[in-house]
């Protein structure tokens, strides 16, 4: 009888312990979701505030509360920004600068990473070190030498100067991200391809490059954000309105005596939307790339 009671008491203790862990787990999960919800509000609210700002008149911007809703939403600010401010031209300039630079950066970085990690040659570590030095060079310290160089070869006020600058400055970080992923690719795949008669070029384009799609998506969104929001290079190397981007073109609404703040807000909203869309589309790939690149073996 005593053994039965002891066993029953033991089972009851286990159930209570399991119940306590379950309650604690639910509380922990609830607390985590609460913290994440608060962080999400802090992240999303600036975008919501900017949207409200873009629908206000200059009088509302300065007289009303910064957090108030517009009394009469000025949807015409978007039409004004797109047509009168030449934002349509600046927008497409930003798009093709960004796309061209991202494609070139990922392609060149993939070439370099493949050569360093998958091929045997004496100076591979030295070459990798030279690329990594690029991470330590401040961008602003290169403006005068680059301006002088581009002026000598006739690339001032030329889109090629922007694309080359974006590509060169994004290469070190892109190589560093790709490096960890390339080291996880089993060499048996390449050995089997060589036995089947594949050349180095076919191994890269048919095997290595498709396998790195997740991490390429990660590097693509990082490069896109940098290229899309970049200001210094365009402001330094581009003079004519024909080749300006959104980040520089927003100054067209800043005048000596009057600044159209509503149109500036509309321009900023227009500039944010493409990056948000790209991030939403590539979000799953970005997570896959980050997870795959963090595990070796």
Q: What is the pLDDT of residues 153-201, one digit of tens each?
A: 999 999 999 999 999 999 999 999 898 888 888 888 888 888 888 888 8
pLDDT one-digit tens code per residue, 245-259: 988 877 766 664 467
Contacts of 245 (CB under 8 A, 6+ apart): 90, 93, 94, 97, 162, 230, 234, 238
Cα 79 to Cα 11, 235, 243, 269, 270: the distances in Å are: 71, 25, 21, 13, 11
For residues 163, 169, 172, 176, the Cα torsion angle rounded to the nearest 10 degrees is: -80
Q: Among 251, 243, 226, 75, which Cα is nearest to 165's?
A: 226
Q: Are 236 and 143 a contacting pair, CB within 8 Å? A: yes
pLDDT at residue 172 in the model: 93
- What local confidence, expressed as pLDDT, does residue 161 receive? 94
Q: Which residue has the higher pLDDT, 103 or 136?
A: 103
Q: How many CB atoms lie within 10 A of CB 98?
A: 25
Q: Is the pLDDT of residue 281 over 70?
A: yes
- Contact criterion met (CB below 8 Å) for 228 and 90: no
Statement: residue 124 has pLDDT above 80: yes
| Model-wide pTM > 0.95 | no
Q: Can you give the pLDDT at residue 189? A: 82
Residue matched to tokens 């050569």: 115
Q: How confident is the model at residue 19 (pLDDT cuts 50, 70, 90)?
A: low
**Residue 210 pLDDT greater than 50, yes or no:** yes
- In terms of average pLDDT, the best of 5-14, 79-88, 124-133 is 124-133
> What is the chain's alpha carbon radius of gyration, rounded to the nearest angstrom?
27
Q: What is the mean pLDDT of the chain?
A: 82
- 86 Rama sector, left if φ>0, alpha if ψ -120 to 50, beta otherwise: left
pLDDT single digits (tens) 61-70: 777 677 788 8
- State the residue for tokens 């509302």: 60
Mean pLDDT on 138-153 = 90
How far is residue 190 from each of residues 124, 150, 175, 176, 209, measured CA to CA in Å? 19, 41, 21, 22, 12
Residue 117 tokens, joined: 């990690």
Per-residue pLDDT averaged across 73-93, rounded? 84
Predicted local confidence at residue 112, as pLDDT = 92
For the cut 90, the answer to whether the pLDDT of residue 151 exceeds it is: yes
């Amino acid at each position: 009888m005593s053994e039965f009671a002891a066993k029953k008491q033991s089972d009851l203790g286990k159930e209570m312990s399991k119940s306590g862990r379950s309650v604690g787990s639910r509380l922990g999960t609830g607390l985590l979701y609460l913290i994440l919800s608060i962080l999400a509000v802090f992240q999303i609210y600036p975008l919501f505030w900017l949207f409200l700002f873009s629908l206000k008149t200059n009088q509302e911007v300065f007289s009303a509360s910064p957090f108030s809703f517009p009394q009469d939403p000025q949807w015409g600010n978007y039409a004004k920004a797109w047509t009168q401010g030449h934002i349509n031209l600046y927008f497409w300039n930003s798009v093709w600068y960004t796309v061209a630079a991202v494609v070139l950066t990922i392609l060149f970085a993939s070439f370099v990473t493949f050569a360093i990690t998958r091929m045997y040659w004496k100076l591979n570590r030295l070459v990798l070190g030279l690329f990594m030095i690029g991470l330590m060079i401040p961008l602003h310290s290169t403006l005068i030498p680059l301006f002088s160089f581009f002026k000598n070869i006739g690339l001032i006020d030329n889109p090629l100067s922007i694309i080359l600058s974006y590509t060169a400055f994004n290469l070190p970080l892109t190589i560093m991200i790709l490096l960890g992923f390339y080291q996880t690719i089993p060499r048996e795949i390449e050995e089997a391809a060589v036995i089947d008669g594949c050349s180095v070029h076919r191994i890269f384009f048919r095997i290595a490059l498709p396998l790195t799609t997740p991490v390429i998506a990660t590097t693509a969104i990082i490069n896109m954000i940098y290229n899309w929001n970049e200001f210094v290079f365009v402001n330094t190397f581009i003079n004519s309105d024909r080749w300006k981007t959104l980040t520089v073109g927003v100054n067209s609404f800043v005048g000596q005596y009057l600044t159209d703040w509503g149109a500036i807000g509309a321009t900023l909203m227009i500039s944010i939307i493409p990056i948000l869309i790209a991030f939403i589309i590539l979000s799953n790939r970005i997570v896959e790339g980050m997870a795959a690149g963090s595990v070796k073996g």
